[in-house]
Amino acid sequence: MAIFFGTDGVRGIVNNDLTEQVAQMVGNSIARKKLNAKILVGRDTRESGSYLTCAFSTGALKGGAYVDDAGILPTAGISYLTKLKKYDYGVMISASHNPREYNGIKIFDHLGKKLNEKEEAELERYFGCPQIFSSLKVGKYQKLSSYKNLYINYLLSTVSCKLNSMKIVLDCANGASFQVAPTVFNKLGAKIVKSACTNNGKKINVNCGSTHIENLKQKVVSEKADVGFAFDGDADRIIAVDKSGEIFDGDKLLYVLAVYFYEKGRLNGDTVVGTSNTNSGILLSLNRKKINFIRTDVGDKYVIDAMDKMNLSLGGEQSGHIIMRNFLPTGDGVLSALQIASIMMEKGKSLAELFDAKLLVQLNKNIVVEDKLKVLNNETLSKKILQISNEIAPGGRILVRASGTEPKIRIMIEHSDECKAERYLSELESTIMKI
């Protein structure tokens, strides 16, 4: 089990958990894994992005690797270009949906896939060395400006229809998609209303993006738009808003995509992959349409791993990671938005009209704690979880887990009775706050 790597790469507060030395160690470790490694690196708009890119690149160059810097691009763009241009590794400097003081390092292999836990642990074997390994022949660093257009052209190739009659609000979270998303939708003829589409790392994810949907909801309704799409800092997540103001999280969007791909014969194995957090109403509604549903642990890399093992084409998380494996091996919020918009265009329906599943009441709560593992392993909490699990079965579910990217305990309660769900959530929250 990796120590530095969480559920989505190395992540932390810059110059606290994620230091210059850590970034150098990651770069140097990759260089030591493969002789004369070719590495593509990109980043989101955070102010610390250039700093960490330099630190990572320094470590890699000392180890003899060659580093190409693609600048600001969505995570999925780095994944796509890594495979297209035959790099040994792709690296994204981003903390995704986290606040601006955080940053992170995500690593992709030569196929554009995130490293698995075994590969991450192998990299960490080099972290214990107190000194950065220096090759007799140092590597070379260069900046590239043309790669953004290659990624944009690929996104455009994934849809076959124009979006001329659609009015779409785009919330890019002042992050990595601030140029790519508006460009793509403009080229397809849609009328675009921009929100948080700036290169302002100080405001990345601040009251905008997929984790703060209120402004998008208001703008979609006031602008009388057909739909709105919100991405996170590195644009690997998507949340949508229907013209009526209804919010469509990853669960709902996954359902719409699954039904459409199934109808078109493009859903491998007639099966969709979700997580333990996916609303049970999605599972039941898909099953009624003869579409199978498989759960994994929370984390897009677990979803992707299950898809790879079973050769499946669609999976995702409630948080908005949606993986369409026939297009890309990782989640891409802009790609997902394009597919959703094209389905709406083809069907001549709103998002609400495309979604006919009946969801169970599901309540979620994130509680900030000092030591999430200490809380999660507390005996009092374990007893409370067991008690509620026994009471809530068989008509409900409970999930208590530590966040893989933040110092938080995440609680999920699912039940047909909202009052009971609220009571159980309150009891769990109270127990955690006392620990």
- In the three-class reduction of DSSP (H, G, I as helix; E, B as strand; rest coil), residue 190 is classed as coil
Element (H, E) at 285: helix 280-288
Helix (H, G, I), strand (E, B) or coil at 139: coil
DSSP for 325-390, written as a single string: TTT-SS--HHHHHHHHHHHHHHHT--HHHH----PPEEEEEEEE-S-HHHHHT-HHHHHHHHHHHH
Count each helix (H run) and each strand (E run) in the chain, helices first: 15, 19
Other beta carbons less than 10 A from residue 1's beta carbon = 8
Q: Exactly one of 96, 177, 280, 319 is catalytic; which is it?
A: 96
Describe the crossing of helices 20-33 and 117-124 by its angle, rounded to 10 degrees: 110
Residue 9 DSSP SS3: strand
Which residue in 195, 158, 172, 199 sits closest to 328, CA to CA? Answer: 158
**Which of 265, 255, 322, 331 is CA-nearest to residue 293?**
255
CA distance 85 to 91: 14
Active site residue 403: no
CA distance 187 to 152: 10
Give the β-pairing of 9-13 and 247-248: unpaired
Helix 20-33 vs helix 49-62: angle between axes, to the nearest 10 degrees? 40
CB atoms within 10 A of CB 7: 16
Contact 226, 337 (CB under 8 A): no
Half-sphere exposure of 98 (CA within 13 A, CB side): 23
- The residues annotated with a catalytic role in the active site are 96
